[in-house]
Amino acid sequence: MAEKIVLAYSGGLDTSVAIKWLQEKYNMDVIAVTIDVGNERDFTAVRQKALDTGAIKAVVIDAKELFVRHFIFPALQANALYEGQYPLATALSRPLMAKLLVDIAIEENAAAIAHGCTGKGNDQVRFEVGINALAPELKIIAPAREWGMTREETIDYAKKHGIPIPITVSSPYSLDECLWGRAIECGILEDPWTEPPEDAFTWTKSPVNAPDKPVYIEIGFDKGLPVTVDGQEMDGISLIQQLNELAGEHGIGRIDHIENRLIGIKSREIYEAPAATVLLQAHQALEAMTLSKDQLRFKQKVAVECADIIYNGLWFSSLNRDLATYVISSQRYVTGTVRLKLFKGHSTIAGRKSPKSLYSLGLATYDKGDEFDQSHASGFIHIWGLPVRTQAQIQLLGEPEGPLGITAPEKIEGD
């Protein structure tokens, strides 16, 4: 009897060809698994296509709720943004997919798992590190990395085997979509000097054509999680979908990132992430009101670390778990409402409030009702400046660079 292999199946050209290729090359029975993380698709048709192409079994898993609860929301609470730009949509979906693929492989008594990634990207790393962490006994096969076919040859292979060529093959771009965003790569976008053409974008209107009147929205957070839009309670999936539409309509969430891939390549990545952009902005605005200066400073470092962990495929590491625990603890008082103005490609914070706000009008005001006792300020400054004053007297004032204490830039030797 042929061994079974579970294939992460998207319905696209490569993974369809992979069904046939795995049968021919490895003589394995393919179980196609398609995971719905909010990539709008006709999943019935995808499943049928897998069966028509020769899979012995094809399943579609709706993983949207798991994705929001265990991946998107924790990343939002952490403010995870890779290199300050990419909200990590694709990167967050891969460990979830790895987990679901492993579950099915075990259930089906399969010997291996296959994915459609090439050898040049991050996704191969995320899939394989995840699968290895959860079930090291499973073999992993990456057909598109192994077969060495060009795009043309892949299309020929599909034609020869009667595999229908998806219309998306005519698209000049390579795409990956989920609830948290849309990644657009390849074609003309590979030239970092070329502005992305309008046809690269489908979730966001061009800011030029966005409505001429701004719209205001209010997002309510409970312990760092978004729970309402304009006062109306919503589940996480609907909330993200609604914000993708609304902010996308106003041209918000286009990202153009020269990104450092884990495998060492710089690549030009275009993203559309309207909901992620607005939610990350609103969440940080509320944290600014409810976390102390020290918490904010420390949490910024954690955010960078979390983003790298997610990007680099280390979701199932203990460090990720440890940091997640810290992040949740930090969100205890991140409750309140943020008001945003959406207008022609930009969202701006128009207001924020929280029952646990640390902002005190009595302390901040320059008007009546000032509670800040200014008489303590000079004593504070005297002590705060003590080490600088001491060192300046003893050392800096005597140095050849003079009292500015800084070597003038023209004196620094260049290379």
Segment 259 to 278, residues that bind ligand ARG, using CB under 6 A: 259, 269
Q: How far is Cα 102 from Cα 122, in angstroms, rounded to an integer?
A: 19
174 sits near ligand ARG (criterion: CB under 6 A): yes
15 sits near ligand ARG (criterion: CB under 6 A): no
Smaller CB separation from ligand ARG, 57 or 257? 257
Among positions 29, 123, 128, 177, the unique one binding ligand ARG when judged by CB under 6 A: 123
- Spot the catalytic one: 10, 16, 93, 123: 123
Among positions 114, 138, 183, 342, the unique one binding ligand ARG when judged by CB under 6 A: 183
Q: Is 352 a catalytic residue?
A: no
* Site mask for ligand ARG (CB under 6 A), range 70-109, x = bound: --------------------xx------------------
10 sits near ligand ARG (criterion: CB under 6 A): no
User: Smallest gap, in angstroms, from Cβ of residue 211 to ligand ARG?
Assistant: 30
Q: Is 222 a catalytic residue?
A: no
- Spot the catalytic one: 94, 126, 254, 352: 94
Which of 333, 324, 284 minimizes the C-alpha distance to 306?
324
Bridge partners (DSSP) listed for residue 271: 183, 255
* Cα–Cα distance list, 46 to 18, 35, 112, 195 (Å): 14, 11, 22, 33
SS3 label, residue 195:
coil
Sheet holding 215-222: strands in order across? Answer: 232-233, 225-229, 215-222, 336-343, 346-353
Q: Is 14 a catalytic residue?
A: yes
User: Smallest gap, in angstroms, from Cβ of residue 117 to ligand ARG?
Assistant: 7
User: Smallest gap, in angstroms, from Cβ of residue 247 to ligand ARG?
Assistant: 20
User: Smallest gap, in angstroms, from Cβ of residue 89 to ligand ARG?
Assistant: 7
289 CB-near residues (< 8 Å, 6+ apart): 336, 352, 353, 354, 357, 358, 359
CB of 342 closer than 8 Å to CB of 217: yes
Q: How far is Cα 372 from Cα 231, in angstroms, rounded to an integer?
A: 35
Neighbours of 338 (CB within 10 A): 26
User: Smallest gap, in angstroms, from Cβ of residue 96 to ligand ARG?
Assistant: 14
Residues assigned a catalytic role: 14, 94, 123, 174
Instruction: List residues near ligand ARG by CB under 6 A.
Output: 90-91, 122-123, 174, 176, 183, 185, 259, 269
